[in-house]
Every structure is written in structure tokens, then in C-alpha cells.
């Protein structure tokens, strides 16, 4: 295990670019929002200054309305499409003048990441001082979400693009692609020059992705216009669970810091409303898990994915609901011939164990589910989640995602996508030290 941990440290140090980390070479040459947060958790175990710098750089790219972009383009790189000239963040009047970025966001992990840094720190006083210097920016990011992304005032925020979900090409989105018919764009993909196309989204999927961005750009990334016009408008259980988890972390941290009663009260209000709404609107008692709600077409997208279990991470389900969720996890994802936890229902005909978010196991989701299971008292299953996560990395290396079928792992070639992938390394370090 010592070697594994040392190799993970090497991966993180190699992907460190002076003030932020890339997820991996070639495929992802910039800073990504949720990657950045999860990477900081890994650094916190052996190099706290880097963990802090990572977060500081991310927050330095925040827009004046509180928005944090999903990619910050620190450098010019032609190994990635679509780059800064396509995204054109400058169209938004409040975008950063210092950094080019995308005009979309990603699951807001920063709040809970700050609490993880505090948990891991050996010098709590110094870490608290750092947290004090950045926490208001994270609060402002939450304020952005609740004021700009919740048109019906439900305490649930929407995402307007599949890339905002983090689960980019999940089969869940197929239901939405069926409602759209975008033009066939001409563009040069770069991802498929680095990674086997069989493991990446299709050309037609990219047409959809670009089309949604075109509509947002035509409206200068104005949130109200996007809510009105975007063909993709979804309340995502993972995104909202992460936001609620981060709310709670901000409440806890502000309580330790003291003198922030107003902010704590506001966070508690968001927390109460969000928890009630996610439980009443996104929990589907028929399936026994949380699902996505398509706000544009006003319907539930009834599919079971790893995101369906993420509310456990934020301690949102009641005991009965949590029991039911775990039954579903065991029944659909927990066969002994499968590693936990496939990103999409292995019993569905849309399941594809090699293709990005259509089936493979992801370390970030496993890490969240591990904590969710443990916090809710499902200790045996939590142990299996942790063991499986360590084992797939041990057998294959620090890949971006992994085949869920155990038989595929016999030759050490069941890791897919990017190699020497930062969050796989970062969260492995955290699991090994848990
Ligand atoms: C990609 O390029 O596939 C990224 O995941 C988008 O965020």
C-alpha cells in the first residue's frame, strides 16, 4: 500500500502546474472545477500549501456574480476542443477579466472540500485561517445558485448542460437528446486522438453539447434567458446533493469561525428547503432511488445511476428510504461479478461498461458513496465500496474510469479514458488514510 500511495503522490505532483492541477495530460490540459476540489483533498494529506493554492486559484476565477466556471483556460492549448474561443466567457458582462473560461459550471464541491481540508489538517489553526480567507467566496457561489438557478424557488437548482452534471454522456441524457434535433456541426474533436473513441461520447452527442452552448452564447450566458430557452434544463440529484453537502459544511465551518450568524441562518434556510424538495420531488418511490427531473419537459427521467445514491453523501434520505436505496444498489449494481459502483444501471440495455459515464466505475462517485454509506451506518457495504475502489486502481493504474465487470480486470487492461488521472490518485490517498 505504501508503493500505491507513493505512486499516487507522483501522479499529483506531475499534474501540478504551479498554481493549479490538470486532471491529466493531453485529454484535459486546464483546470476543471470539481476535479480541482477533489484533487485538493489528496494534496491535503502531504502538501497543504498546494491544496490551498489549488482552491485559491479556482476561486480567483470566480465571476463577480458568484459563478464559478467548469473549465478555467490557464494556457493556450490546441489539444482540447472546445476551447476558449468556442466558449467565449467574455460574452457575460460579469465574467472574469483575468481568466478565460467556459460559461457553465460543475457540481459545487468547494464547501465540503474546505471541511475535508480541515479534517485532514495537522495544523487546524493555520488551516482555519486559510478557510477564513476564502469561505465567503464559496458562500457567494451558493448565493448565485439559489438566486439565479432556482426559477421556481424550490430550493433545487438547475443545470443547463450535461457537462454541468459532471456525468457528461450518461444514458439519462438520451431522453433529452430525443427531444432535440441540432444541426450537424463541423468541428475537429481532440479527445478521440488521445483516447479510443469507443470510450468517449459520439459525434452526434457532441452536436447536442455544442448546440446548447450556442443557444447560451446567443443570450450572452444570461441565466434568466437560459432558464427560458435552453432545451436542456434539469434538476440533478448529484448536483443538488453536492450543493446541500457543501451548505452543511459551510454551516459547520462558519460555526467554528464564529460571528457569522446571518450567513448561517441563510444557509440553514437553503438547507431546509432543499432537503424537503429533493426528498419530495427527486425521490422516486417506485424505483426506490433519487432520479433527475427534466424541467424543460416537466417530467422525471426514471433511470438508476450512481448519481441516484448520492443523496446518502449529504445525509438527506430518511432511514427507510436509505434502506430501500441500499437494497436497489445491491440488487442492480452489487452482483459479486461486478465492482461497485457502475455509473449506470448494469441491468439496463443502455449500460455500456467501457463508455465514459454510460457504465464504468468512477473513483469520485465511489468516494462519495463510500462516505454516504458509512455515515448512514451501512458499514459492510461501505467497506466493500472502499475495497473495490482500491483494488481496481491496484490492478490497472490511475485511470479515469474502470470496467465494472470483474472478469475484465484479469489482464490489467480494465482502466479506460485518461491515464495518471488526478482525482483517482487524490481520493485513493484519502481512502488509504481513512
Ligand atoms: C470533456 O471534455 O469531456 C469534459 O469532461 C467536459 O467537461
Distance (Å, whole) CA 285 – CA 282 = 9
Q: If you take atom 4 of ligand 1, which residue's CA is the nearest one?
A: 163
Average pLDDT, the chain: 98
| Measured distance between the N- and C-terminal CA atoms of the chain, rounded to whole angstroms | 13
Q: Is the CB of 205 under 6 A from ligand 1?
A: no
Count of CA atoms in the C-beta half-sphere (13 A) of 329:
28
pLDDT confidence band for 245 (50 / 70 / 90): very high
> For residues 139 and 131, is the Cβ–Cβ distance under 8 A?
no
Whether the per-residue pLDDT at 70 is higher than 90: the answer is yes
E strands, 185-342, where?
234-235, 283-284, 289-290, 292-294, 299-301
Exactly one of 236, 294, 400, 430 is catalytic; name it.
400
Ligand 1 centre to CA of 167 (Å) is 9
- For 403-431, how does the pLDDT look when each residue is reduced to its tens digit (9 = 90+)? 999 999 998 899 999 999 999 999 999 99
- For 339-371, how does the pLDDT look when each residue is reduced to its tens digit (9 = 90+)? 999 999 999 999 999 999 999 999 999 999 999
136 is catalytic: no
8-state DSSP, 346:
T
Ligand 1 centre to CA of 326 (Å) is 30
pLDDT confidence band for 2 (50 / 70 / 90): confident
Distance (Å, whole) CA 337 – CA 401 = 18
Question: Per this entry, what is the length of the chain?
Answer: 434
Q: What pLDDT shows up at residue 77? A: 86
- For 259-316, how does the pLDDT look when each residue is reduced to its tens digit (9 = 90+)? 999 999 999 999 999 999 999 999 999 999 999 999 999 999 999 999 999 999 999 9
Exactly one of 60, 90, 143, 168 is catalytic; name it.
168
Ramachandran area for residue 297 (φ above 0: left; ψ -120 to 50: alpha; else beta): alpha
- For 159-217, how does the pLDDT look when each residue is reduced to its tens digit (9 = 90+)? 999 999 999 999 999 999 999 999 999 999 999 999 999 999 999 999 999 999 999 99
- For 12-58, how does the pLDDT look when each residue is reduced to its tens digit (9 = 90+)? 999 999 999 999 999 999 999 999 999 999 999 999 999 999 999 99
- For 363-396, how does the pLDDT look when each residue is reduced to its tens digit (9 = 90+)? 999 999 999 999 999 999 999 999 999 999 999 9
Q: What pLDDT shows up at residue 403? A: 98
Q: Is the CB of 60 under 6 A from ligand 1?
A: no
Amino acid at each position: 500500500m505504501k508503493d500505491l500511495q507513493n505512486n499516487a503522490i507522483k501522479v499529483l505532483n506531475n499534474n501540478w502546474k504551479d498554481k493549479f492541477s490538470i486532471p491529466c495530460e493531453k485529454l484535459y490540459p486546464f483546470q476543471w472545477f470539481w476535479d480541482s476540489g477533489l484533487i485538493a483533498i489528496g494534496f491535503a494529506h502531504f502538501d497543504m500549501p498546494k491544496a490551498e493554492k489549488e482552491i485559491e486559484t479556482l476561486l480567483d476565477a470566480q465571476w463577480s456574480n458568484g459563478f464559478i466556471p467548469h473549465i478555467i483556460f490557464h494556457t493556450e492549448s490546441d489539444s482540447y476542443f472546445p476551447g476558449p474561443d468556442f466558449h467565449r466567457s467574455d460574452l457575460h458582462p460579469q465574467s472574469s477579466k483575468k481568466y478565460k473560461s467556459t460559461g457553465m459550471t460543475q457540481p459545487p464541491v468547494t464547501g465540503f472540500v474546505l471541511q475535508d481540508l480541515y479534517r485532514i489538517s495537522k495544523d487546524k489553526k493555520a488551516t482555519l485561517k486559510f478557510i477564513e480567507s476564502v469561505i465567503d467566496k464559496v458562500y457567494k457561489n451558493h448565493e448565485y445558485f439559489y438566486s439565479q438557478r432556482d426559477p421556481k424557488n424550490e430550493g433545487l437548482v438547475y443545470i443547463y448542460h450535461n457537462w454541468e452534471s459532471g456525468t457528461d454522456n450518461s444514458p439519462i441524457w438520451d431522453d433529452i437528446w430525443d427531444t432535440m434535433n441540432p444541426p450537424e456541426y463541423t468541428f475537429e474533436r481532440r479527445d478521440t486522438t488521445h483516447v479510443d473513441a469507443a470510450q468517449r461520447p459520439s459525434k452526434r452527442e457532441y452536436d447536442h453539447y455544442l448546440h446548447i452552448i450556442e443557444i447560451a452564447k446567443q443570450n450572452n450566458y444570461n441565466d434568466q434567458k437560459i432558464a427560458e430557452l435552453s432545451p436542456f434544463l434539469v434538476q440533478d440529484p448529484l448536483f443538488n446533493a453536492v450543493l446541500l453537502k457543501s451548505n452543511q459544511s459551510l454551516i459547520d465551518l462558519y460555526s467554528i469561525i464564529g460571528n457569522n450568524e446571518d450567513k448561517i441562518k441563510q444557509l440553514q434556510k437553503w438547507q431546509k428547503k432543499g432537503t424537503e424538495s429533493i426528498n419530495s420531488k427527486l425521490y422516486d418511490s417506485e424505483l426506490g432511488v433519487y432520479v433527475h427531473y427534466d424541467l424543460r419537459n416537466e417530467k422525471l427521467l426514471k433511470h438508476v445511476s450512481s448519481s441516484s445514491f448520492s443523496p446518502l453523501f449529504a445525509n438527506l434520505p430518511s432511514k427507510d428510504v436509505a434502506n430501500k436505496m441500499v437494497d436497489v444498489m445491491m440488487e442492480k449494481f452489487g452482483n459479486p461479478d461486478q465492482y461497485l459502483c457502475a455509473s449506470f444501471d448494469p441491468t439496463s440495455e443502455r449500460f455500456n461498461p467501457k463508455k465514459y459515464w454510460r457504465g464504468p466505475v468512477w473513483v469520485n462517485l465511489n468516494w462519495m458513496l463510500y462516505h454516504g454509506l458509512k455515515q448512514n451506518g451501512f458499514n459492510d457495504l461501505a467497506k466493500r465500496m472502499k475495497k473495490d475502489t482500491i483494488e481496481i486502481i491496484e490492478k490497472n493504474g490511475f485511470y479515469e474510469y474502470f470496467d465494472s465487470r470483474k472478469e475484465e480486470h484479469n489482464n490489467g487492461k480494465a482502466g479506460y479514458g485518461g491515464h495518471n488521472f488526478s482525482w483517482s490518485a487524490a481520493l485513493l490517498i484519502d481512502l488509504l488514510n481513512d
